[in-house]
Structure 1
Amino acid sequence: MLILLTMLLMGLLLGFIGAGGAGSIIAILTIFFGIPIHTALGTSLLAMVFTSLSGTYSHFRERNTILSVGLATGIFGAIGGFTGSQLSYLIPADNLKWLTASMLFLSSLLLAIRVFRGFGVFADSQPEIPSPNSFKFWAAAVGVGIITGILSGLFGIGSTPFIQIGLLTFFGLTIQQSAGTTMLVILPIALMGGFGYFTLGFIDIKLFIEVIGGTVIGSYIGAKFTSRLHLLILKIAMISVPAAGGLILLFGH
C-alpha cells in the first residue's frame, strides 16, 4: 500500500511535467524500498508504458500533443530502447546506480539551460515546427529517437529531459507541447525497453502492478494542470524531478 500511495503522488507530478518518470521511480524503489536496481530499472521502464498512455491521452485532450512528431520520434526510440536494455545487463549494479544518477543530473542541467537560456538561435525565438515531408523532420526524429531510446533502455531513466530538449531544440515545440508530446514518444520506447528487460528476467510482476496502479491515475490527473499553472512552475518542476532522483540515488541509504 505504501508503494501504491507513493506512486500515486509520483504520477501526479509526472503527468504535470510530461514525464514517464522511470529515473525518479527507480531512485525511490531502490533506496526507500530496497528493490535491486536491475529489477527496479526493468519494472519501472515497463510501467512507464501505462503511465505514459494515461498521460498521453490526457495531454492529447488538452491539445498539448503534436502527433506527427511524437509518433515518428517514438518509432525510432523503440529501436534504441530495446538495444539499450540488452546492453544494461553488462553493467554491474553498483556502477549502474552511479551512471543512472549521473544521467539524471546531466539531463536536469541541460534542460535548465534549454528552458531558461536556450541553445544558440533558439535562445531568443521559437522556431517553426518542420513539415513531416521534410528531411529536417525525419533527421530530427531519427536522431532524437535513437539516442534517447538507447539512453532510456540502458539506464532505465525514460530519458524524458533529453526527449524534451530534442523536441524543444530540433522540432521547435513550445514548453507545453514538449511536455505533452514527450509522453507519446516515451510509449514505444518504454514498451520495447521493458520487453528487453523482461527477456532478461528483470520484471517483478507484483511490483509492476503496484507501480502502475498509482502512476496511471496520478499521471492522468497531473496532466490536467500542465496548461493551467504558471509556466515558471512547469519549468522548475521539469528540471527538479530528475535532479531529485539523482540526489536520492547518490545519497540515499
Structure 2
Amino acid sequence: MTIFFTMLSLGLILGFAGGGGSGFVLALLISVFNIPIHTALGTSTTSMVFTVLSGTASHMREGNMVVKTGLIIGAFGAFGSYTGTLVTGLLPENLLIWISASLLFLSSFLIWVRTRIVKQETSDQKVKFFWITAPAIGLITGFLSGCFGIGSTPLIQLGLLIFLNMTLQQAAATSMLILIPVSLFGAIGFYQAGFIDWFLLVQIVAGTMTGSYIGAKFTKRASVLILRTAMILLPVFGGLLLLW
C-alpha cells in the first residue's frame, strides 16, 4: 500500500503539470524502494502508458490539447522510443543513473529559460518550421525516453514551447498525448527484454492513473506562475532522487 499511496500523490502532480512521470517514478523505485535499475526502467515506462491515457482523457475534456500536433510528434516518438530500449540494456547501471539525472536537470533549466522569453513568429514560419521540428522532437525525445526511462516530458514540453509556440497549458496537455505512443512502444521494447515487474506495475498504475485524472482538471484553473513552477521543479526533484 505504501507504493500505491506514493504513486497516487505523484499522479496528482503529474496530471497537473503534464506528462507520465516516468523519470520521477524511476527515481522513487530506485532510491526509495530499492528496485534494480533495469527493472525500474521497464516498469516505470510501462506504467506511463496508463498514466498518460488517464491524464490525456481528462485534458481533452478540459480543451487544453493541440491534438493534431500531439499525434504527429507521438508517431515519430514511438519509433525513437522503441529504438532506445534496444540500447539501454547495453549500458551499465551507474551510467544510466547519471545520464537520466543530468537530462532531468538540463530540461528543468531550459524550461525555466524558455518561459522567461517571449518569442513571436508569423503563421507561415510556424507551418514551415513545424514539419522540420515536429519529427525531430518526436525522434529525439522518444529515443531518450526509451533509453534512459525519463519519459522526456520536460524535453517534449520544451520543444512545444520553443519551436511550436504553445502556451504552458497547451504544452502540459499535449505532452501527455505525445507520450501515449512513446510509452507504449517503449513498454513493448522493455517487455521483449524482460525488464517488467508485473506486480509492481499494478501498484504503480492504480495510484498514478487515479491521481493523474484528477490532477489534470486543475491545469487550466491554475495560474501560469504555479504551473510554470511545477513544470520546472518536478524534473529537479526527480534528478535529485536519482542521484541520492
**What TM-score does the superposition give when structure 1 sets the normalisation length?**
0.93
Residue type at the aligned position of 1:171: L
3-state SS of the aligned residue for 1:49?
helix
3-state SS of the aligned residue for 2:222?
coil
Residue segments in structure 1 that go unaligned for 5+ positions in a row: 118-122
C-alpha deviation, 1:177, in angstroms: 0.4
C-alpha deviation, 1:125, in angstroms: 3.7
2:130 to 124, 137, 140: 137
Q: Percent identity?
A: 52
- Asked if 1 retains the 8 angstrom alpha-carbon contact of 2:119 and 2:165, the reply is no
Is the aligned partner of 1:175 residue 2:184?
A: no
C-alpha deviation, 1:137, in angstroms: 2.1
Number of the residue aligned with 1:120: none
- Asked if 2 retains the 8 angstrom alpha-carbon contact of 1:129 and 1:173, the reply is no
RMSD between aligned alpha carbons? 1.5
Q: Deviations over 1:5-50 (max 9, x none)?
A: 0000000000000111000100001111010011111111111111
1:231 to 219, 224, 234: 224
Aligned positions of 1:19-168 closer than 5 A: 19-115=19-115, 117=116, 123-127=117-121, 134-168=127-161
> CA separation in 1, counterparts of 2:97 and 2:71?
31
Number of the residue aligned with 2:195: 202
Residue type at the aligned position of 1:64: N
**Taking structure 1 as reference, are residues 243 and 208 closer, same or farther at Cα in structure 2, changes over 3 Å only?**
same
- Asked if 2 retains the 8 angstrom alpha-carbon contact of 1:44 and 1:156, the reply is yes
Residue type at the aligned position of 2:228: K
> CA separation in 1, counterparts of 2:42 and 2:159?
24
Q: Deviations over 1:124-170 (max 9, x none)?
A: 245467799x4432212111000000111111001001100111111
**What TM-score does the superposition give when structure 2 sets the normalisation length?**
0.96
* Greater CA drift, 94-103 or 184-193: 94-103
> CA separation in 1, counterparts of 2:129 and 2:120?
16
Q: Deviations over 1:40-85 (max 9, x none)?
A: 1111111111100000011111111001100000000000000011
- Asked if 2 retains the 8 angstrom alpha-carbon contact of 1:81 and 1:154, the reply is yes
Aligned positions of 1:234-245 closer than 5 A: 234-245=227-238
> CA separation in 2, counterparts of 1:129 and 1:149?
27
Residue type at the aligned position of 1:38: H
Number of the residue aligned with 1:184: 177
Residue type at the aligned position of 1:208: L
3-state SS of the aligned residue for 1:207?
helix
> CA separation in 2, counterparts of 1:144 and 1:166?
6
3-state SS of the aligned residue for 1:203?
coil
Residue type at the aligned position of 1:66: V
C-alpha deviation, 1:171, in angstroms: 1.2
Residue segments in structure 2 that go unaligned for 5+ positions in a row: none
> CA separation in 1, counterparts of 2:64 and 2:36?
36
